[in-house]
Amino acid sequence: METLNVECPGCGTILVVNRKTGKVLESRKPLLEEAERTGDRFEDARKRVEQAGDRIERKVEEARRAEKDKLSRLDALFKERKTEIEETGEKVERPDIFRD
């Protein structure tokens, strides 16, 4: 084997070094934090993808809730304004762009 894998004890980065020339051929940063690492890069990659899916799902759910809250606020504003108009007896016509 012409390469040597050296792991940095500080950050966990693996350096792939050519034995003959001493040049660093590749630098592999850890996929997960040290506490979460399994020691198997494929397992770490699978775990990272799984975590990314969880993060995406949480963000989508947050966006859904925000949109629902926004629609609720707009609906409340509409009802409030409609009540005000009905109480004052103002005549309101639909804008031309909404007419058939």
Asked if residue 51 and residue 14 are part of one domain, the reply reads no
Structure confidence at residue 77 (pLDDT): 92
Residue 24 lies inside a defined structural domain of this protein: yes
Q: What percentage of the chain reaches a pLDDT higher than 90?
A: 27
User: According to the model, what pLDDT value does residue 8 have?
Assistant: 83
Domain membership of residue 100 (yes or no) is no
Which residue positions in the chain have pLDDT lower than 50?
none
Q: What is the pLDDT of residue 86?
A: 83
- Residue 67: inside a domain, yes or no? yes
Q: What pLDDT, on a 0 to 100 scale, did the predictor assign at position 61?
A: 95
What residues make up the domain containing 75?
31-86
Residues ≥6 apart with Cβ < 8 Å to 7: 13, 14, 15
pLDDT at 41: 74
Q: Is position 98 within any domain?
A: no
* C-alpha–C-alpha distance, residues 37 and 85, integer Å: 63
The helices-and-strands tally (H runs, E runs) of the chain is 1, 3
pLDDT value at residue 100:
57
Q: Could you tell me if 37 and 51 lie in one domain?
A: yes
Total of domains in the chain: 2
- The answer to whether residues 25 and 45 belong to one domain is no
